[in-house]
Every structure is written in structure tokens, then in C-alpha cells.
Amino acid sequence: MTESLKIAVAGLGTVGAGVLKLLAEQADVIEQRCGRRIEVVAVSARSRGKDRGVDLSTVEWYDDPVKLAAHPGADVVVELIGGSEGAAKETVETALEAGRHVVTANKALLAHHGTELAAKAESKGLAVAFEAAVAGGIPIIKGLREGLAGNRVSEVHGILNGTCNYILTEMRTTGRDFADVLADAQKLGYAEADPSFDIDGVDAAHKLAVLTSVAFGTPVDFGNVYVEGIRHVSALDFDYADALGYRIKLLGIARRTEQGIEQRVHPCMVPKAAPIAAVDGVFNAVIAQGDFVDRVLFVGRGAGAGPTASAVVADLMDVARGRFTPTFGVPAAQLSKAQPSPMEARRGAYYVRLMVVDRPGVIADIAAAMRDQNVSMEQFLQRGRAPGEAVPVVLTTHDTNEAAMQRALATIGAKEAVVEPPRMIRIEQF
């Protein structure tokens, strides 16, 4: 009988406790599929007394996850603490130093230090596996890195944050405003007490940076991800989007263009008929475009104890079978640095919402500002009239360039009759 794979788990929160529960409940299936058992030998968390709903009576307890990382009897250290620095980073570095494989769900750590950690692991013949870090239970990393390994990927885009997708879905279906829906999401446990990482797009940007590296074989380049969150999407935008035939989604988009690699996270209007438009609530989705396979869509739960544990355990099973690829598909030393394509180079259509004082000449001024930047308008919507008062005015453009659009909006926003900063949502015709 092959010896069991021995693991030490740092972090016993939502994901850590979920992993222990899955390993206990599915022990037979795992053994049958890997030919060996996966055995938890040690764990670490902050508070020892906390009931986590799992049996810890037979495992060694460590108050310090960094000490746990050097546990002499562990083959793998599973890092489920979170955060790009501090305990999580030290735990992973110590584990690699000590010759242990690492499995992690930590997208923040990978977005900031993924390339160095991969290089360190590969120099020692170790794995750093991170299926759970991107889109939770969806096997997108394995799908891209292994399932689509024979393709050149030109684009990956997706709904990478379930909290934002839940908020946007609720806003659309109930007509309520952002702040109201966010407060409810916090009560239901779908949003953190400090929700800024989610709603400002940072969490999605961490995941996109990692996904880009796997898709294009480039070093992780979080610093060049353009990030815009969902705070400024209003109930009004959903009304107009519906009338124009769109849904609003926070997307992460990575694309190889002639200018280089685009990486951006921002709210998008997508046609109602696009498959991604139908992915609602806490679900995530990723679409990859490969040259031989064409378009592939992955949909599933992007968070939660069960789905995330499912991904962590799949990585552990790869290690148990002795089968793992370089961290990002291409050996870290051969990841090819690519030119980042700046946001100003984006080409596409735009939706713009303005609050303007309803008086003669204002609309002509807006049209002139667009014309001066060669931005061609497609539709113009003004519902109702209220002379002398502020009213919403919405317009959409034909494909144009981001830099020109930004210049036009700066001119429009400076007009006295425009009483709020112009709000713009990019239209993506997938």
C-alpha cells in the first residue's frame, strides 16, 4: 500500500474547515482515485478553542503557521490564511524552503508574488498549486493550463467576483440602489464588513492577473491591471441598459492585442444574448478563446466552503498522484514578459450617463465635445423634460478610442450645466 500524502493545513476558516470536512467525507473516493490516502497531520489557526465543526482530536495544533510550515512530517502545506503579505507569505516561503509542496487559495499572494514563488518552487521540484484562487469551484486553472494546453489563447474574460455579481443582479431585479443592496448583502454574509476589496474590483483584479499569466505564459503583472469597481453603477443605469438591450456585469478581461496585453476590470454592458449575461447571483463564469478550440465557457460557484474545498482537494490529489505542471503552465524562468497595453488604447463602444440642466444649447454642447474628439454617437436618450432642472441624459457611442472618450468626458464634465461627474460604462460586444 502506498503511503498516505501527509498535509499540514494553515488556516481553518471557511475554506480550511471546508477542506477538512471534504477530506473526511470523501476519503474513500480520494483513495480510490489517487491510490493513496490524504492525511491531515497538523493544523494552525489563531484561536485554538473555536468550534470549527470538524474533528481536530488526532492532529497536531500549531499557534504559529510559519512553524507548521516546517513540520517535518508534512509533504504538503496548505495555505488558507489569506492576504498578500504577513503570515500567509511567510508560511508559503517557509514551506518551500523546507521542501514542502504548497497548495493555496490565496489570489492576493499570487497576484503580488506569484512569479517569485513559482520560481522558488520549480527550482526545488515542488508544486505551488492554486486552483481555488481563481473562480472558486470552477476548474479554470486546470482547464486553461492543461485542457487548452495545445491552443494559443487570445482572450480570457469573466465574472470573477461573486459578491459584485450578486449586488448587480439584485440591483437589476429589484430596482434598488447600490448602497441598499450592499447593506443587505452584508447582512446575508455575501459581502464582508469591509467590502472594498470586492466592490472596488481589487479581488477580481488579483484573479485576473493570475489568469492572464496562465492564459498567455507571461509573468504575473498585477501592477498593470486597470481596476474600476461598481460603486458608481446606479439603479438608473439598469433601466437604460435594459432599454438598450444590455446587462451590466463587472468583468475581468485579458486580451492579447497588437499593442500588447490588456488587463482590465470594470463594469461592462454586455448584450442580453451573450452567454455571460445570463450568469447571475453569486455565480462566476470564465470564457476563454483558443485558436483551435474556439470559445469555451466555464460557469460555477466562485466561493463558499464546498466549492473552494473542491478545488483545493483537486490540487492535493494531483500532488498525491505525483502529477503536477509548472505553476503557470510554462516554467517560471521561461515566462515571456509582454508589453502591457495601456487602458487609453482600448477600442470599443461606450454608454454615458449625464445629469444636465434642461436648457437650450446644452445638448448641442455635449454633441460638439464628442465631435471634437471624433467620437461618433449612436443613440441619445432623454426621457421627459423639466426646463431649468437637472435631468438624466444617456448616450451611446460607436466604437471609439478610450483616450478620445476620456477627453470628451472631461470637456463635458466641466460644463456648468452638467451637474454631476459624467458616468461611463464600457460596452463589450462578446
Ligand X SMILES: NC(=O)c1ccc[n+]([C@@H]2O[C@H](COP(=O)([O-])OP(=O)(O)OC[C@H]3O[C@@H](n4cnc5c(N)ncnc54)[C@H](OP(=O)(O)O)[C@@H]3O)[C@@H](O)[C@H]2O)c1
User: Which amino acid belongs to residue 92?
Assistant: V
Number of residues that bind ligand X (CB under 6 A): 24
Binding ligand X (rule: CB under 6 A), the pick from 43, 65, 144, 269 is: 65
- DSSP string of 173-193, one letter each residue: HH---HHHHHHHHHHTTSS-S
46 binding ligand X? (CB under 6 A): yes
105 binding ligand X? (CB under 6 A): yes
Shortest Cβ 5–ligand X spacing (Å): 20
Task: Tell me phi and psi for residue 251, to 5 degrees.
Answer: -115, 150
Cα separation, 138 vs 115, in Å, equals 22
With contacts defined by CB under 6 A, name the span among 191-199, 300-308, 369-377, 398-406 that binds ligand X: 300-308
Shortest Cβ 80–ligand X spacing (Å): 4
Residue of 60, 72, 76, 54 whose CA lies nearest to 4: 76
Q: Sheet with 5-10: list strands edge to edge.
A: 60-62, 38-44, 5-10, 76-79, 101-104, 128-129
337 binding ligand X? (CB under 6 A): no
For ligand X, the closer CB: 248 or 303: 303
Residues between 369 and 428 with contacts to ligand X, criterion CB under 6 A: none
CB-based contact 354:417 (threshold 8 Å): no
Cα separation, 218 vs 115, in Å, equals 9
For ligand X, the closer CB: 137 or 290: 137
Residue with cell string 436648457: 359
Burial class (CB in 10 A: 0-12, 13-18, 19+), 357: middle
Please work out, in degrees rounded to the nearest 5, the angle formed at the alpha carbon of residue 274 by the alpha carbons of 271 and 280: 95
313 binding ligand X? (CB under 6 A): no
Binding ligand X (rule: CB under 6 A), the pick from 208, 227, 230, 303 is: 303
CB-based contact 237:423 (threshold 8 Å): yes
Binding ligand X (rule: CB under 6 A), the pick from 143, 147, 304, 331 is: 304
For ligand X, the closer CB: 31 or 200: 200
Shortest Cβ 72–ligand X spacing (Å): 19
Q: Per-residue x/- marks for ligand X, 113-132, CB under 6 A? A: -------------------x
Cα separation, 189 vs 195, in Å, equals 11
Cα separation, 295 vs 287, in Å, equals 7
- The CB-nearest residue to ligand X is 13
Binding ligand X (rule: CB under 6 A), the pick from 22, 82, 163, 191 is: 82
Residue with cell string 443613440: 379
Binding ligand X (rule: CB under 6 A), the pick from 22, 23, 81, 128 is: 81
For ligand X, the closer CB: 110 or 395: 110
Q: Quick check: is 207 catalytic?
A: yes
Q: Where are the alpha helices (DSSP H) in 332-392?
A: 362-372
138 binding ligand X? (CB under 6 A): no
Q: Which candidate in 207, 272, 337, 415 is catalytic?
A: 207
With contacts defined by CB under 6 A, name the span among 43-51, 188-196, 231-239, 357-365 that binds ligand X: 43-51
For ligand X, the closer CB: 11 or 252: 11
- DSSP string of 193-253, one letter each residue: SS-HHHHTSHHHHHHHHHHHHHHHT----GGG-EE--STT--HHHHHHHHHHTEEEEEEEE
Shortest Cβ 15–ligand X spacing (Å): 4
211 binding ligand X? (CB under 6 A): no
137 binding ligand X? (CB under 6 A): no
| Residues belonging to the active site | 207
Q: Which residues bind ligand X (CB under 6 A)?
A: 11-16, 44-47, 50, 65, 80-82, 87, 105-107, 132, 136, 303-304, 308
